[in-house]
Amino acid sequence: MRSDCHIFTRRGLLYTGLGVGTAALTGVAAGAFALHESGRSGHVAAAAKHPADPTRPAGGGAGAGTRPVRGLPHTEHAAGDSYRLRPLAGETSMGAPSAHPPVRTQAEMTLPGTHGRRVLALTFDDGPHPVHTPALLEVLRRHGVQATFFVVGENAAVFPELLHDIAADGHVVGNHSYSHRQLTRLRTEDIESELSRTSDLIDRVLGLPPTWCRAPYGDWHAPSLKICARLGMEPMGWSLDTRDWSRPGTATIVRAVLDQVAPGAIVLQHDGGGPRDQTVQAVDRYLPVLLEQGYTCVRPEA
């Protein structure tokens, strides 16, 4: 009888303990749910208090929450914000698929969709240069003209402030590889490195990756075009070569532009890669003539 009492006593204690434990777990779960709902309500309230600005780019773009630091900021990136982690078309493991430019068979040689309008695109390669790029920016600013600067990553890494100056004046900053190596002679992994390193650098400095790319020497092939598209860029060539890289003289550069210009032209010039004072002077001389002829210098639309 005494033994039975002990058994009943032990069973009672066991059931009591189980009841207390269950109640405790229920309380923890309820508290966690309440905390989650409270945090969720806080986020909703914060979003209502600070609605998204539709003029700001999404993701890691400039103005998405914080202003990009001038110069070359810290290299760490949130995985979700990295342009290199955007899923390929049809891939949903990282969320909804994002749009990528289709793989082109060749670069754009003239501005698309101009329909005979007197528009052209001025492009400058191989910079930024600490002397010629600021001088060229001053000329373009004075004439109220915008252009596209295809920067070499090695130069941009040394002069990141010039990327800010280019973008601040409303010009397009494009990718011209990291070390100006001929892409068609490189292994696929080296092409990827040349283009992605420069895109990553521009993204870190300006808060937004480039949407246009020009291959060194304008030399594209199928693998490089595929990588260009995968990195979210369109390839651009040119229809009017000033050959300013050979330093033929200011008058020769001016004549090359005025003699060959046509609606939709993409003009190739350089602000880096050597002395470019002739180019700066030529731009200052031919721009008033083009503007008087009714031409408008535009940014390419990606």
203 is catalytic: no
DSSP per residue over 140-170, as a string?
HHHHT---EEEE-HHHHHH-HHHHHHHHHTT
* Claim: this prediction has a pTM higher than 0.75: no
Say how far apart CA 193 and CA 4 lie, in whole Å: 80
Mean pLDDT of 17-22: 42
* 180-220 pLDDT, tens digit each: 999 999 999 999 999 999 999 999 999 999 999 999 999 99
Mean pLDDT of 53-76: 37
The token pair that represents 215 in the structure block: 């291959």
Say how far apart CA 212 and CA 235 lie, in whole Å: 6
User: In angstroms, how far is the first alpha carbon of the chain from the final one?
Assistant: 91
Mean pLDDT of 247-270: 98
* The residue to which tokens 């309820």 are assigned: 30
3 state DSSP class of 68: coil
Say how far apart CA 240 and CA 256 lie, in whole Å: 8
3 state DSSP class of 149: strand
Q: What is the pLDDT of residue 115?
A: 86
Say how far apart CA 138 and CA 131 lie, in whole Å: 11
**129, 176, 180, 270: the active-site residue:** 270
* 136-167 pLDDT, tens digit each: 999 999 999 999 999 999 999 999 999 999 99
**125, 126, 200, 284: the active-site residue:** 125
171 is catalytic: no
